[in-house]
Amino acid sequence: MSAPGRAALRDDHVAAVALAGLDSLGARRLRVLVDHFGTPSRALRAVEQRRARAVLATTFGPNHRHLLDPLCARWAAEVDVGTTGALLEARGAHVWLDGEPEFPIGEPVPELPVCLLAEGDRPAALHAPRVAIVGTRSATPHGLADARELAGTLVDAGVTVVSGLALGIDGAAHAGAVAAGGCTVGVVATGLDVEYPRRHRTLYRDVRAHGLVLGETGYGIGPVPWRFPVRNRIIAALADIVVVVEATLTGGARITAEHAVRYDRAVFAVPGSRRNAASAGTNALIADGAYPLTEWSDVLVALGMTPGSRRAAPARVAPEGDGRRVLDALGGEPASPEQLASRTGLGPEVVALTVAVLERTGWVTWSQGLVWPQ
């Protein structure tokens, strides 16, 4: 099977993917090897003949130096061009090497990946403007709804949504793009034959159908903790603009934002309540100079596009009476039904009925034991 518009694979492509599929041979070591030996094919031969030891020695810290010899021996035994080539052909994967005209990251950035490989039905997704939507895995219903809405708005304008296929915000961004029928690119830290997290198996299928699953890691590599922050730089490099919807102070979304700043990409952050732990990271980003994003169309303006007429919001009747009181008591923030009861002075049954009516008309959602205004 050959994917449409796919360039034929050369030896260098296969060699790069075979090297990237070695355990513990990450982006930095691959870069060192290829820079030293000139081409991926030569680097591959050096690894096979165990000539790469001296070159790689600099990439091992004093605490890991004892691993160098066993790793070189293992790599020499494991590297397998034949199988990799057959896999690439069978799966119809695209492979681009750094420096080729088709390489998805147009301008040179620091820590540029040696090669990128991608699988999916819409390679054209990479030819549109690209916006990354990233955020925390433990998102609130507000954050998930924001990510979905933003992704929908962007793909309606022809923008490709880039994200990391993780749980939480990432997943909501992909799902929003897919639901609106747009293009989306999922950048993964595992081999393209691995689907992680497993809960996103269906989402992987949808993203393949609506765009690409893309990565710099060869086949067979499972989830390894250190590969995820390294992957984040590809999300930042691929995107023209990075939007952080919800992030904790220490999470991976902030790493993506930092890469974006280094690569000179605009960073937008959705502000949130100081009570929301999942907004602490985005609020900190805004304090550091990220643009606060309150209108989705601001992203399109920043891309130099003219925001089309806003999609008419579904007409909804402003609630009156108890509904109004409950909405006012929420004040735009989530609250427990007990808090609502004590703030409005209404009884439990009345609060429950009012919330049920508000939920039916789309004013609130009821999730995680809290009432969330929409």
Partner 1 sequence: MLASVVSATLLGVEGHLVTVEVHVSPGLPSYTVVGLPDTAVRESRERVRAAVLSSGLVFPQHRITVNLAPGAVRKHGAGLDLAVALGILVATDALPADVLEGTAVLGELGLDGTVRGVPGMLALVDSLARRGVERVIVPASDAAEAALVHGVHVRAAEHLGALRDCCKGEAPWPDWDPLPAPRPDEDDDVDLGEVRGLPWARRALEAAAAGGHHLLFSGPPGAGKTMLARRLATILPAPDPAEALEVTRIHSAAGHAPVGGLARRRPFRAPHHTASVPALVGGGSGRPTPGEVTLAHRGALFLDELGEFHPGALDALRQPLEERAVRIARQAVSVTFPADFQLVACTNPCPCGLGPPWCGCSELQRARYRRRLSAPLLDRFDLRVAVRPPEPGAPTGESSAVVRERVAAAFARQADRYRHRAWCRNAHVPAGALSEMVPLHGDAAEAWLTECDVRRLTGRGAARVRRVARTLADLDDVAEVAAAHVALASMLREDVP
Please give the residue ranges that form the binding site for partner 1 (CB under 8 A). Answer: 137-138, 140, 167, 276-278, 334, 336-339, 341-342, 348-350, 352-353, 355-356, 359-360, 366-370
Q: Please give the structure tokens belonging to residue 157.
A: 């304008």
DSSP string for 227-252: HHHHHHHHHHHH-SEEEE-S--TTSH
DSSP string for 94-107: EEEETTSTT-SS-S
CA dihedral sign of residues 93, 96, 102, 108? positive
In the complex, minimum distance from the CB of residue 339 to partner 1, in angstroms, rounded to a whole number:
7
Measured distance CA(264)–CA(46) in Å, rounded: 36
CB 282 within 8 A of CB 272: yes
Beta bridge partner(s), residue 214: 118, 187
Long-range contacts of the stretch 291-297 (C-beta < 8 A, 24+): 291/266, 291/267, 292/268, 293/243, 293/268, 293/269, 294/270, 296/149, 296/150, 296/153, 296/154, 297/153
Residue with Cβ nearer partner 1 (258 or 359): 359
Residue with Cβ nearer partner 1 (181 or 332): 332
Measured distance CA(125)–CA(139) in Å, rounded: 27
Residue with Cβ nearer partner 1 (4 or 369): 369
In the complex, minimum distance from the CB of residue 225 to partner 1, in angstroms, rounded to a whole number:
11
Residue with Cβ nearer partner 1 (33 or 144): 144
Residue with Cβ nearer partner 1 (75 or 372): 372
Measured distance CA(107)–CA(353) in Å, rounded: 56
Measured distance CA(195)–CA(199) in Å, rounded: 9
Residue with Cβ nearer partner 1 (242 or 278): 278
Beta bridge partner(s), residue 185: 162, 212
In the complex, minimum distance from the CB of residue 141 to partner 1, in angstroms, rounded to a whole number:
9
Residue with Cβ nearer partner 1 (179 or 277): 277
